Amino acid sequence: MKQRQKNYFLICSTCNSCCCQNARPPITQKRRKLIEEYCLARDLRIDKFFETTEYVFPQETDDGFCIFFDEKTRKCQISVVKPETCVAGPITFDINLKTGKIKFYLKFERICSLAGSLKKDRVGLKNHLNSAKRELLTLVGELDVEALSAILQIDEPETHKIGEASLNKEVLEGLQKIRARRKSAIHGNK
pLDDT per position as a tens digit, 72-126: 888 899 999 999 999 999 999 999 999 999 999 999 998 888 898 899 999 999 9
Closest C-alpha to 165, from 87, 118, 101 = 101
DSSP the chain: ----S---HHHHTT-SS-TTBS------HHHHHHHHHHHHHTT---S--EEESSSEEE-B-TTSBBTTEETTTTEETTGGG--HHHHHTTEEEEEETTTTEEEEEEEPGGG-HHHHHHHH-HHHHHHHHHHHHHHHHHHHHHS-HHHHHHHTTS---SEEEEEEEEPPHHHHHHHHHHHHHHHHHHHHT-
Q: Between residues 30 and 189, which one has the greater pLDDT? A: 30
**pTM of the prediction?**
0.89
Q: Does the pLDDT value for residue 2 go beyond 70?
A: no
Q: Does the pLDDT value for residue 71 go beyond 80?
A: yes
| pLDDT tier at 136, thresholds 50, 70, 90 | very high
pLDDT at 5: 57
Q: Does the pLDDT value for residue 34 go beyond 70?
A: yes
pLDDT at 157: 87
| pLDDT tier at 186, thresholds 50, 70, 90 | confident
